[in-house]
Amino acid sequence: MARLGLEREVVDRGVYGRTVRRFAEAGIVMPTFAQLADPETVPPAAVAAMARVDPDAADPANLFRVHWYNGADRRGRVPLPEHVVLPSSLTGVDARIVVALGDRFPMIASHKVLAAYACLAPRIVTGQFDPSSHRAVWPSTGNYCRGGVAISRIMGCRGVAVLPEGMSRERFDWLARWVADPSDIVRTPGSESNVKEIYDRCAELERDPANVIFNQFSEFGNHLVHYLATGRALGRIVEAMQERHGEVRLHAFVSATGSAGTIGAGDFLKERFGARIVAVEALECPTMLENGFGEHNIQGIGDKHIPLIHNVMNTDVVVGISDHATDQLNVVFNTPVGRDYLVRRRGVPAEIVEQLDSFGLSSICNVLAAIAIARHEGLGPDDVIVTVATDGAAMYRTEREKAEARDFAGGFDEIAAAETVGRFLLGAGESQHVLDLTPVERRRIFNLGYFTWVEQQGISFDEFVRRRAPSFWKELREIMPVWDEMIDEFNERTRAGVPA
């Protein structure tokens, strides 16, 4: 199943020509990676088309909305990515914790649609994927497969979601509305930690040559688009803060690893600002912390293996966060009792509390890890930590109800809210769950990936090992301008009706 997706030329001219004709008939134009990183460069015709289209529609115009610069209505473009700076009344630390809001993205209200586009688009323009005959298979624990199904539908092909049966009901409800056929939702055993079971099902599906697997854990397009688009977007937020507040500095970028796509933005932020890169995982499944395993409910961050596209040797810190914390804070953040406590008793500004709608489970996890780093490293008001809210609370209403019934059987009142905040929010950052990575620790985590990728998924030993070198990752970025040129040429052929 493992494919790297790094081709730089057309592989199959026949497929390429058929896809050009198909896109011409459907009026599909694709954005370049550079345009998604800087939407001000989007052609006026595409901007005009977007203005007429609902952000949740399966319309080709929405491809040009797959970026960080959508406003709160997800229709208009804003000059600075939407974000919230969390006050110390909420976090309990002096450092400025900045959260970029992923629920501004189109179709799925999550930035994972960006990764899905970045994996499929290069296969289209290199003639490796034929929308008329192939099915795009998206292995995921939820948001990536939703993004994949959305992008597939826009590009006129069938998208297949492969995800654990234990994921939130809202994920499955969304998929049921978007897939071409109910059989295109493939449920695998387990929950968030059961990525191996997803791989096994994809291996079965891949026996049919009509199925093309887009494995986000090994597709380098996922890493690259976050390095470029997410890295630049977060960098723009930091620059705006420096313009307003003077001597603030970016100390760290925090990201739960999941497929390790988003954390690729850390490479950009380290190069540009000298930021430390902090990888986060569930404490109940401490794979990076201690080669551990287990089950958890921080949906969207995946575990029990090290993604191929994770630049482990450039990672500085690992933080473990408990799913008890994310489940219970989801109740605090999204119930009237919890919100009233935050405003009246904690003094959190009401406008900040309203923004908590944009924090899903993995988003809360990222915030807790940022607080942990601020405490662990003794950061002050001139220090900035940047992280992302991958999706919003709307995707976890049923998970909130489960947590409320399970953990607050006597009822969720102000006392329960205070205890939860005191235990999990103000008590975040116990040093035993923060690991500063030495060269030995980096090698240990890197080496752990061998068993997944070489022994199980068919990556060659040389392909695996070369990822240790910083030069591999720098050279990898050279492919993005090549892909952009190929996208431009493909679009020109589509407009002109010239297949090849």
Q: How many helices (H) and strands (E) does the chain have?
A: 22, 11
CA contacts within 13 A on the Cβ side of 363:
30
pLDDT number for residue 20: 97
Phi, psi of 139 (to 5 degrees): -75, 135
485: Cα within 13 Å, side-chain hemisphere:
8
Contacting residues for 303 by C-beta, under 8 A, at least 6 apart: 192, 193, 195, 281, 282, 285, 287, 293, 294, 296
d(CA 207, CA 189): 20
In 3D space, the residue among 300, 317, 255 whose CA is nearest the CA of residue 99 turns out to be 255
Q: Which residue has the tokens 């406008």?
A: 351
By the 10 Å C-beta count (0-12 exposed, 13-18 middle, 19+ buried), 71 is classed as exposed
pLDDT computed for residue 500 by the predictor: 62
Q: Do 92 and 359 meet the contact criterion of CB atoms below 8 Å apart?
A: no
329 occurs within a structural domain:
yes
Mean pLDDT score, 86-95: 97
Amino acid in the structure at residue 383: D
Q: What's this model's pTM, rounded to 2 decimal places? A: 0.96
pLDDT of residue 168: 86
Lowest mean pLDDT among 166-170, 281-285, 467-471: 166-170
C-alpha 74/C-alpha 66 separation (Å) is: 10
> In this structure, is residue 292 part of a structural domain?
yes
User: How, if at all, do strands 135-139 and 276-282 pair?
Assistant: unpaired
Question: In which order are the strands placed within the sheet that holds 83-86?
Answer: 83-86, 96-101, 383-389, 249-256, 276-282, 317-321, 434-436
What average pLDDT does the structure give for the chain? 95
439: amino acid identity, one letter: P
Tell me the pLDDT tens digit for each residue of 245-298: 988 999 999 999 989 999 999 999 999 999 999 999 999 999 999 999 998 899
Residue 430: pLDDT band (50, 70, 90) is: low
Distance CA 154, CA 148 (A): 10
d(CA 29, CA 248): 41
What is the rounded average pLDDT of the residues 83-88?
98
Give how many domains the chain has, as a whole number: 1
Supply the range of the domain harboring residue 257.
83-105+221-441
Q: Which of 374, 280, 386, 272 is nearest to 325 (CA)?
A: 280
**DSSP run (H or E) holding 366:** helix 361-376
Residue 203 lies in a domain: no
Radius of gyration of the chain (CA): 22
CA quadruple 61, 62, 65, 66: dihedral sign? negative
Helix (H) or strand (E) run with residue 83 in it: strand 83-86
In a domain, 76, yes or no: no
Phi, psi (degrees; rounded to nearest 5) at 383: -100, 135
Mode of pairing for the β-strands spanning 211-213 and 185-188: unpaired
Q: Judge whether residue 195 has pLDDT over 90.
A: no
- For the record, the structure tokens of 282 come out as 């569930």
**Cα-based angle 226, 231, 237 (whole degrees, multiple of 5):** 140
Strand partners, 254: 278
Q: Is residue 51 part of a domain?
A: no
**Which of 168-182, 254-268, 328-342, 362-376 is least confident?**
168-182
Q: Answer for the pair 291, 305: CB distance below 8 angstroms, yes or no.
A: no
DSSP bridge pairs for 318: 279, 435
- The predicted-structure confidence for 96-130, as pLDDT tens digits, reads as follows 999 999 999 999 999 999 999 999 999 999 999 99
**Sign of the four-CA dihedral 137, 139, 141, 145:** negative
- Cα 338 to chain centroid, rounded: 27
Q: What is the structure's pLDDT at 1? A: 42
Tokens of 435: 């690991």
Beta bridge partners of 386: 98, 253
Does residue 239 lie within any of the structural domains?
Answer: yes
Instruction: Choose the weakest-confidence range: 22-26, 190-194, 225-229.
Output: 190-194
- DSSP letter string, 237-271: HHHHHHHHHSS-EEEEEEEE-TTSSGGGHHHHHHH
Among 138-152, 184-198, 215-229, which stretch is predicted with the lowest mean pLDDT?
184-198
CATH number of 422's domain: 3.40.50.1100
Token readout for 68 is 């960080």
Determine contact, residues 221/5, Cβ cutoff 8 Å: yes
Closest by CA to 229, choosing from 114, 110, 327, is: 114
Alpha-carbon distance 329 to 331, whole Å? 5
d(CA 270, CA 498): 43
Other CB atoms within 10 A of residue 52 CB = 9
